[in-house]
Structure 1
Amino acid sequence: MKRRWLILALAASEAALAQPGGAEPFADGTWTLLRLTDAQGTVTPQGADPPTLTLVGTRVSTAEGTQVSGSTGCNRFTGRGAFTANTVRLGPLASTRRACTPEVSALEARYLNVLSRVRGLSFSPNLLVLSTGRERLVFGNRVTALDASRLFAEWRLVGAVGDTPPTLRLEPGGQVGGTTGCNTFRGTYTLEGNTLRFSPLATTRRACPSPELQRQETDYLRLLEDVRRYRVTGSLLTLILEDGTERTFQRPVNGG
């Protein structure tokens, strides 16, 4: 009896997956390229802006398809695809035409070449592998919409001087504000997976009460200009700069 019940349960599960919209998105989120293997060999992307792949609407047997976008580390691309539990087929990808460094351009060409021809897929919550057969793209470090929402708080810079440390407040609509410890600022940000960039920030022009606070303000605004990625761990926010250095912020406890 137990064996018969198990067989019926498995059959019901497979039938549900076969229905359009019958499965929840399974690989939605922004993935970071960890390794690329093609005829030229295997490469592990380095630097502050590794290639990414963002998927929205990965369900089995969907009619509308999956929204596909991402970054080559220099340019942006968009398109659509059809995903199942173990196959993928992408349509044409439209890409921006920004000039890149020779090294980034070479990786970009290899990445888009393999990505446009992938057919096989294997997936776990923390790893996505797309393959053409002999060529492979291995992605990890997935950031979901829920992960990104943890950014929406007010953060204080750790290790600041003075009684009023610089702050950073990110809002869901793409607005950012805060203080330098001396002046206030406003601007916008763009968020793509774990990639974070700030627009030029508008600040008030109040004179800082000491040279130390003036230097801190200058350094802080320059820091925000150089932000490329982020990581949230518990009550800590780590901003990763263009040169790979990191600065830590803390979320006040109970509004303190």
Structure 2
Amino acid sequence: MSNRILLAALVVTLLAVTGCGDRAAGQGGDLRGKVFVSTSVTEQGKPKALVEGTSIELSFTDDGRVIARAGCNMIQGPVTLDDGKIEAKDLSSTAMGCPNPDLHTQDDWLTKVLGASPAWKLDGGNLVITGSDAEIVLSAEKEEKLDGEWTLTSIVSGEAVSSIPGGVPATLRFENGKVEVFAGCNTGSASYKVDGQTITFESLVHTDKACGENEMTVEKAVLNALNGQVAYKIDRKNLSLTTAKGDGVVLKK
């Protein structure tokens, strides 16, 4: 009899430990480092129309913050996710003027929902947030891959980041170890190899016709970033290529 009692106690203990482990895993470990974008929004049981061209976006950082966007300003603050609740009482927002007053209203609505301790759960690949009279269903944003076309958005020189002079267009298309280059005026190509967080470019060739001043500035920055081994980082839809000297370019897919 004593052996049976001991075995039963051991089973209960194991179940309790397993249960605690599951709860701990649900306290944000499944959300940290991820970005979610809304697929549906309801209010008082009815579909809620968002401002045209916008969506609800939530990012959960590794250092315990939530960053929310609803089409205009950025809303952020510390967050805890214990016991299936989003606790974000100390949210702040940027004060950027929005072109449409409805965007301000939408920002305020999202701040109110997140600040009211809504419930959250993962349903398959979706994050479901449920408040007193609203529900937001969001899907995890897919991680961008290097392959594909990237458009130049800024030029980096040390710690300085500048916009593209004259709005000169430039693109890089990566595919199967080869990158096709449009540097604003001239075109070219190179082979590349990826090793961890570095890319080594080789055999860069390009046309060499005379271009305007802005085009030449863009071309110099792009070609410099394709010279030998450079560090690369993909942050959502942004790709940065950085040389050993700290110069480089930022592109967007």
What is the TM-score normalised by the length of structure 1? 0.52
Residue ranges of structure 2 left out of the alignment (5+ in a row): 149-171, 208-218, 226-231, 241-248
Q: Report the equivalent of 1:164.
A: 188
Q: Report the equivalent of 2:15.
A: 10
**How do 1:1-256 residues align onto structure 2 when only pairs under 5 Å count?**
9-17=14-22, 25-28=29-32, 29-38=34-43, 41-43=47-49, 46-47=52-53, 50-57=55-62, 66-102=64-100, 103-143=102-142, 147=143, 150-151=145-146, 155-156=173-174, 164-165=188-189, 182=207, 183-184=219-220, 185=222, 194-196=236-238, 227=252, 239=253
Q: Is the 1:118–1:130 Cα contact (8 Å) retained in structure 2?
A: no
1:163-208 Cα deviation digits (max 9, x unpaired): 83499999999xxx9x995534268x9976x44388xxxxxxxxxx
Query: One-letter code of the match for 2:188?
Result: T
Q: Is the 1:83–1:89 Cα contact (8 Å) retained in structure 2?
A: yes
Q: Distance in 2 between matches of 1:172 and 1:113?
A: 42
Q: Is the 1:151–1:170 Cα contact (8 Å) retained in structure 2?
A: no
1:91 match: secondary structure: coil
The offset of 1:25, in angstroms, is 1.0
Residue ranges of structure 1 left out of the alignment (5+ in a row): 58-64, 199-220, 228-238, 240-256
Query: One-letter code of the match for 1:80?
Result: P
Q: Is the 1:35–1:45 Cα contact (8 Å) retained in structure 2?
A: no
1:61-112 Cα deviation digits (max 9, x unpaired): xxxx832113222222220122125222112211111111214334323222
Q: Distance in 2 between matches of 1:109 and 1:136?
A: 16
Larger radius of gyration: 2
Q: Distance in 2 between matches of 1:172 and 1:76?
A: 32
Query: One-letter code of the match for 2:29?
Result: P
Q: Residues 17, 105 of structure 1: CA spacing in aligned structure 2 closer, same or farther, 3 A cutoff?
A: same
Q: Distance in 1 between matches of 2:195 and 2:73?
A: 26
Q: Distance in 2 between matches of 1:71 and 1:171?
A: 34
Q: Distance in 2 between matches of 1:24 and 1:151?
A: 28
Q: Distance in 1 between matches of 2:108 and 2:195?
A: 35
Q: Is the 1:127–1:140 Cα contact (8 Å) retained in structure 2?
A: yes
Pairs aligned (count): 188
Q: Distance in 1 between matches of 2:107 and 2:194?
A: 31
Q: Is the 1:167–1:181 Cα contact (8 Å) retained in structure 2?
A: no
Computed over aligned residues only, the root mean square deviation of the Cα atoms, in angstroms, reads: 5.1
